[in-house]
Structure 1
Amino acid sequence: MNTTQPPFLRPVDDVDPIWRLWRELPGAWQGSVIGPEVENWEAFTELKDHNIILTGLPELMAAELAWMAHWQAQDGTRSSVLAINHLAGIVRHAIKKDHPFPLSIREMDWETASTLQGWYYASRLGRMTNKGVRARLRILFRFARLALLARCHDGHWWELDYWHPRCDPRIPLSQREPQANYGAIPGQITQPWLRPAVKWYLGTALEAGTLRWSTVSQERLKCWRRFDTWLTECVDDPTSMLGDPAVAAGQATQFQRWAADPRNRLRYPGDQRDLSKKVHPRLVNDDLRAVAELMDFIAANPSETRAMLGPSPWDQITPAHAASWFAQVTRIPHTREFNDAHYVDDHALAQITAALPVIGLPRDEQMAITRGDRTQITADGLNNPQAMRMILLQILTGRRSSEIRTCAFDCLSAPPASTVTGTDGDQIARFHYAQSKIDVAPDTILVDQEVVEVIEEQRRWIRERFPDQQPRFLFMQRSGNRNGDKPYPYGSYAWILRRFGDLLQITDGQGRPVRLSHTHRFRHTRLTRLAELGLPIHVLQRYAGHATPTMTMHYIAAREQHAEQAFLATVKLKADGTRVQFSRDDHDSMHLFDRADRFLPNGWCLLPPLQSCDKGNACLTCSVFATDSTHRSVLQRQLDDTAALINRTQQNSRSDMGG
């Protein structure tokens, strides 16, 4: 038993919020030695026979570390016993040597902790820290410290520099939005007058429901970080953006040109993005619109701005500033051209499906696969059957990767009684996918037996490997998920897709490389194939989960091959049996099929209208004669009759000669 008294007893009215959190901890987590009295302690730690030792630490730091360890246990990860004891040893050594250090974890960021760790190894052990040692301590300064900062912050949640729904339950998520296991860092905005304004605007938009967390964290903040970079690198006085409204249009134009340069959109040093590829005007418009919306929001709320931000350069903002920036948003005409860039043809799809089992194979097993260049290699298994089934479901259903990756464990239900079986007797089920993008769009589709079998196989796999858990998601995070409430990580899925793509070197029918990491291609492909089967647009819209048919049409690849086949209805063959090839420019030849004099008993005449025929009735052997499979039976009968006639003539001729 742990008989040690708690090392810190604080009055109820203590002003530091950490003591409120500490008093809410179970008693077994309040002692200076945590572990012996914690029920099922082995399930909460990566070191089953080790305890957390907090003796000799400053009171604030000891209380913070105790709360962080308990939060990790409640989060479903393991309490970082090794990291906490390592940091505690460093602090005790600093106290002994009278070396300065922050008295609170909230004041000790990762850079400070890393420096203190380096001093500890140099002064006590006489050597430098290595990567593994630094990683041991790093884990404390990720989610656990972010959760501590959020719980100890009594102001608005959006005032913090790092936002993460996993660490701060105050961040609003929409009802359909899955558990967001990704954060956002508004603190990366460097301009001191811009950063708090962006935080306030985004926080207000999220709480009002006009923006979603996924939009804010993955799109909007990137726009303002680019704006912040432009202000820092290209503008002598950044606050001049809020000055004379007469020059606002010119400033917006300068930012527009800067944002259109692909070199200014690199995500990190060493980014290998193709700089020769032009930035799409829609992305530049997003940047301009983000800045204009922020200006418009603040200009429309002057009294609230002063209350929230205090005296600031924003006091000069007017609606004219926002109007000038909005005016620079260019109109992008919709031009529907033949485009199959997002389409995965049968050649590439056959390579992917044939090699998929290698993803699920254990690492000690191998499989022979054929790469895009037709070379055969023997590949080691990637030991990731979940990713294998996720890719397969994306191919079969055309859902977004997030809709598959975060769908619920109980995602299948019975369809209406009128659609229990398919046309071939296959069982049909209703698939509830994780629709997180459009609130008004449907979140179910009917799926066939093949999809049902893949889902049931994944369910069996989960039950066998996590028998003691009640899984929330169909695809689960394999480690640090004791409660079974974390979906398969996006980063892990992206990594396995890149690894598989690099291994397979996929190419399409024209020899062009196909990047498997762009799984949205499968969505384009599925919708395109359904459209080519003749499904009405409103049915496609319902299947895609879109709010408008216009968005659905963006996903349908206008393939030249299918356009020609649809126009001509069937394949046209020449007299020698080769196909008649039409390109998008062969309008004259195509229009011949609208002329009555070009319809022949067994096909069509492709002779241009201004030319005359000198073949008589010898159409079947003419180079401009075309036919298709609809006339096959008639042509075959004529061919058989002709062959029989020739045979009879030859036999009669032999008889006459013999006589």
Structure 2
Amino acid sequence: MISQRRHPPARANENVDPIWRLRHELPPQWRGPILGPGIENWASITENGWPELDLNSLPEPFAAELAWMAHWQSEDGTRVAVLAMAQLANMLRRASADGHRFPSSIRDMDYDAAAALQRWFYLSRGKSVPSHKGRARLRVLFGFARQALISACHDGPWWQLDEWHPRCDPRIPLTSREPCANYGCTPGQITQPWLRSAVKWYLGTMLESGTLRWTTVSQERINSLRRFDMWLSACLSDPTDVVGDPATAVEQATAFARWTADRRNRATRQSDTRHLGTPVPIRGINDDLRAVAGLFEFIAANPAEARTVLGPEPWQQVTATHADSWFGRVTRIPRHRGFTDSQYIDDHALTQITAALPLIGLPRDQQLSITRGDGTAITVDGLDDPQAMRMILLQILTGRRSSEIRTCDYDCLSAAPSQGTDADQTLARFRYAQSKIDIAPDTILVDREVTEIIAEQQHWLKTQYPNGTHRFLFVQRNGNRRGDKTYPSGTYNWVLRTLSALIQISDARGHRVQLSHTHRFRHTRLTRLAELGLPVHVLQRYAGHATPTMTMHYIAARDEHAEQAFLATAKLRADGTRIALSSEDHDSLHLFRSADRILPNGWCMLPPLQTCGKGNACLTCSVFVTDTTHSPVLKRQLRETSEIIDRVTTEFEQRHGQPMPADNVWLNLRRAEHTALTGLIDALAHTPESSPDDLTPQCNRPSAGPVPLTLGPIPDRRSTP
């Protein structure tokens, strides 16, 4: 569902600069030329403690632009950059007085032009070049505030702009699953003009129709199409040949697939250079091919609109054959895979992680001594981010995706469904930010440990933002005066990478565990729930998946658990010897389970189609098996057998005046049963992972106990050890 966004009203006179309409829409106290007097809470919404901002004597339309940008910053929740605006105003006044050339408006002045004007301003006053802090102060104005000004002054469709950012342009559609978008994208970086205009139209239309989401467009499609643009410039003498003869489309798609399979060709941003030595996943190559094929398919399906929007050249040659040829180069990836434990975090690594988590929330002026994965002890400064500490804890305990925790609502807890008077009062329903699958559930039941972590975070928010709106549970620390912006994903990843580098976590096999790969916590949580014996449909509901097949991809095949499961199914014969069960034996025990095969003290392994002629002499039968779960019954039988032997032999001696003969048929059978029971009980007592006092198999117990951990300002966060 596409959310309703506010569009700016149409202009009466297209020849008038739209900045004057924007200035007229401002509250009177924000129109200038002096900002500050009459504005409520001016001191709390501005930085540097400046009492006012003087916009007098500025060339048009700079005063109106700065006034609008100041008001936008106050409405956005950031602090008004009064010092930066005052400095820019002084630079413009001096340049105007001295006849120094500069752009005609802030919309036409990018940061490089502003930085050049700043250097001239400093040098003209006999000072050295501006410091890094001075340049950074100026950069604030040429980020979100300037982009918001450009978007507000733009008459045409929003997708015609070179910079897209929902924070700056409310016309960009977001779905209800995307409550906020703290990131943008830059289609203007595509160098081929004919391709750039087509990409804007295609992605803008897909967003407005709801076919694609903002997350997909801004983080995947734009990057794929930028790589397509890079390939056109690097590999084709005439880039428009790619939309020429359809007979060459297959060859061109194959060439692009080879090119994008090289990690060195895929770097569209600085972070892409960190993985130059690793192979490119097939899925990444397929995504690039699908993005180009989707563009061709869209234009071929809308030829009349394409001529109107893009013009006749060169897109009039594109046909469905181009799209089919590029789609045909997509490699099929088998959906089934063998179960592994590569994504599972074992107890050895998890203990190191939980022991080091307090370091994330520790203030920077405090230190903590921790033991690294290699066993060395170090003392390090705190990272001063208690929010990140609680987010990773919630991921460990709930198995949610990082985005589902990072963007969840402030009021995310509700009462658990009542199950009568004996219902567990420590349970609550947790609503997470399900943002991936529309038809999947967005709530799970959580215990007291999770609710206490959420309560600590809510308490922290109320302390940090006492007058905030409290929309989200985790919020951005800087540039968020009202506390209504979500915690940035980049900051979360940086904190976890920093902690990983400090403590160098390793698992029991000596392999490094990177905390920034937080999806492994999801694999681990679902694996442990599966090992507890939860049915697949319950696991699917807990994971928030649309199909059980996807849920099973998260279950790790751990050798340790397989061994424990084997020990838990160990079966003994009547003489105490262990038997090896084949798949057919398991079928006999489970698939062909019937009343005459289930015995009070074990099972009968006689093939289902055969009949038994032994009556109740199972303890002397070669196809009788039992296990530790029947120990109480076997002990009772041993006791009762001993009692009946003693009673019957005593009665025989009283009646006949002599002891019962040793070769008595009845006595021989009872003594054989007594011997078999004694041997069975002794063998079961020495069976690994089994004991009479604890009959729950190890694989059905929680695989890790609680780890004591103090998190925050609320004392006594746990009531149980």
User: What TM-score bracket applies, with the shorter chain setting the length?
Assistant: 0.7 to 0.9
Q: CA deviation at 1:461?
A: 1.4
Alignment of 1:28-177 (within 5 A): 28-177=29-178
Residue aligned with 1:534, SS = coil
Q: CA deviation at 1:632?
A: 5.3
* Max Rg structure: 2
- Once the two structures are superposed, residues 214-251 of structure 1 have per-residue CA deviations (whole angstroms, 9 ceiling, x without a partner) of 11111111111111111111111110010000010000
Give the number of aligned pairs.
592
Query: Paired residue for 2:661?
Result: none
Residue aligned with 1:438, SS = coil
Query: Paired residue for 1:4?
Result: none
In structure 2, C-alpha distance between the alignment counterparts of 1:95 and 1:417, rounded to whole Å? 73
In structure 2, C-alpha distance between the alignment counterparts of 1:410 and 1:48, rounded to whole Å? 34
Q: What letter corresponds to residue 409 of structure 2 in structure 1?
A: A
1:206 equivalent in alignment to 2:210: no
Query: Paired residue for 1:455?
Result: 454
Alignment of 1:320-331 (within 5 A): 320-331=321-332
1:352 equivalent in alignment to 2:347: no
What's the RMSD between the two structures over aligned residues?
2.9
Q: CA deviation at 1:521?
A: 1.1
Query: Paired residue for 1:528?
Result: 527
Q: What letter corresponds to residue 41 of structure 1 in structure 2?
A: W
User: Is the 2:339–2:555 Cα contact (8 Å) retained in structure 1?
Assistant: no
In structure 1, C-alpha distance between the alignment counterparts of 2:322 and 2:155, rounded to whole Å? 34
- Once the two structures are superposed, residues 174-196 of structure 1 have per-residue CA deviations (whole angstroms, 9 ceiling, x without a partner) of 01212111111111111111111
In structure 1, C-alpha distance between the alignment counterparts of 2:690 and 2:143, rounded to whole Å? 71
Alignment of 1:9-408 (within 5 A): 15-268=16-269, 272-408=273-409
User: Is the 2:366–2:382 Cα contact (8 Å) retained in structure 1?
Assistant: yes
In structure 2, C-alpha distance between the alignment counterparts of 1:338 and 1:240, rounded to whole Å? 45
Between 1:458-467 and 1:239-248, the stretch displaced more is 458-467
Residue aligned with 2:193, SS = coil
Change (3 A) 1:274 1:43: closer
User: Is the 2:468–2:484 Cα contact (8 Å) retained in structure 1?
Assistant: no
- Once the two structures are superposed, residues 280-323 of structure 1 have per-residue CA deviations (whole angstroms, 9 ceiling, x without a partner) of 11111111111101100100000011111122211110111111
Q: CA deviation at 1:551?
A: 2.2
Q: CA deviation at 1:13?
A: 8.3
Residue aligned with 2:61, SS = helix
Change (3 A) 1:282 1:141: same
User: Is the 1:572–1:626 Cα contact (8 Å) retained in structure 2?
Assistant: no
User: Is the 2:226–2:268 Cα contact (8 Å) retained in structure 1?
Assistant: no
Residue aligned with 1:142, SS = helix
In structure 1, C-alpha distance between the alignment counterparts of 2:468 and 2:143, rounded to whole Å? 25
Q: What letter corresponds to residue 479 of structure 1 in structure 2?
A: N
Change (3 A) 1:593 1:505: farther
Length-normalised TM-score, structure 1: 0.84
Q: CA deviation at 1:352?
A: 0.6
User: Is the 1:412–1:431 Cα contact (8 Å) retained in structure 2?
Assistant: yes
User: Is the 1:35–1:52 Cα contact (8 Å) retained in structure 2?
Assistant: yes
Query: Paired residue for 1:549?
Result: 548
Alignment gaps of 5+ in structure 2: 1-11, 573-577, 589-604, 607-621, 629-678, 694-721
Query: Paired residue for 2:638?
Result: none
- Once the two structures are superposed, residues 510-557 of structure 1 have per-residue CA deviations (whole angstroms, 9 ceiling, x without a partner) of 111111011111111111211222222221221111222222222222
In structure 2, C-alpha distance between the alignment counterparts of 1:338 and 1:571, rounded to whole Å? 24
In structure 2, C-alpha distance between the alignment counterparts of 1:570 and 1:146, rounded to whole Å? 66
Change (3 A) 1:148 1:626: same
Between 1:48-57 and 1:237-246, the stretch displaced more is 48-57
Alignment gaps of 5+ in structure 1: 1-10, 574-579, 581-587, 605-619, 635-659
User: Is the 1:338–1:560 Cα contact (8 Å) retained in structure 2?
Assistant: no
In structure 1, C-alpha distance between the alignment counterparts of 2:193 and 2:60, rounded to whole Å? 33
Query: Paired residue for 2:431?
Result: 432
Q: CA deviation at 1:446?
A: 0.9
In structure 2, C-alpha distance between the alignment counterparts of 1:210 and 1:591, rounded to whole Å? 48
Q: What letter corresponds to residue 19 of structure 1 in structure 2?
A: W
Q: CA deviation at 1:470?
A: 2.6
In structure 2, C-alpha distance between the alignment counterparts of 1:494 and 1:269, rounded to whole Å? 15
Q: What letter corresponds to residue 474 of structure 1 in structure 2?
A: L
Q: CA deviation at 1:568?
A: 5.6
Change (3 A) 1:49 1:293: closer
1:416 equivalent in alignment to 2:417: yes
User: Is the 1:162–1:184 Cα contact (8 Å) retained in structure 2?
Assistant: yes
Sequence identity of aligned pairs in percent? 62
User: Is the 2:465–2:482 Cα contact (8 Å) retained in structure 1?
Assistant: no
In structure 2, C-alpha distance between the alignment counterparts of 1:369 and 1:164, rounded to whole Å? 42
Q: CA deviation at 1:77?
A: 0.6
- Once the two structures are superposed, residues 433-463 of structure 1 have per-residue CA deviations (whole angstroms, 9 ceiling, x without a partner) of 1111222211111111111111111111111
Q: CA deviation at 1:47?
A: 2.3
Q: What letter corresponds to residue 487 of structure 1 in structure 2?
A: T
Q: CA deviation at 1:465?
A: 2.3
In structure 1, C-alpha distance between the alignment counterparts of 2:202 and 2:569, rounded to whole Å? 57
User: Is the 2:400–2:522 Cα contact (8 Å) retained in structure 1?
Assistant: yes
Query: Paired residue for 2:514?
Result: 515
- Once the two structures are superposed, residues 322-373 of structure 1 have per-residue CA deviations (whole angstroms, 9 ceiling, x without a partner) of 1111111111123422322221111111111111112112222222211111
Q: CA deviation at 1:146?
A: 0.6
Q: CA deviation at 1:476?
A: 1.8
Change (3 A) 1:72 1:334: same
In structure 2, C-alpha distance between the alignment counterparts of 1:537 and 1:118, rounded to whole Å? 66
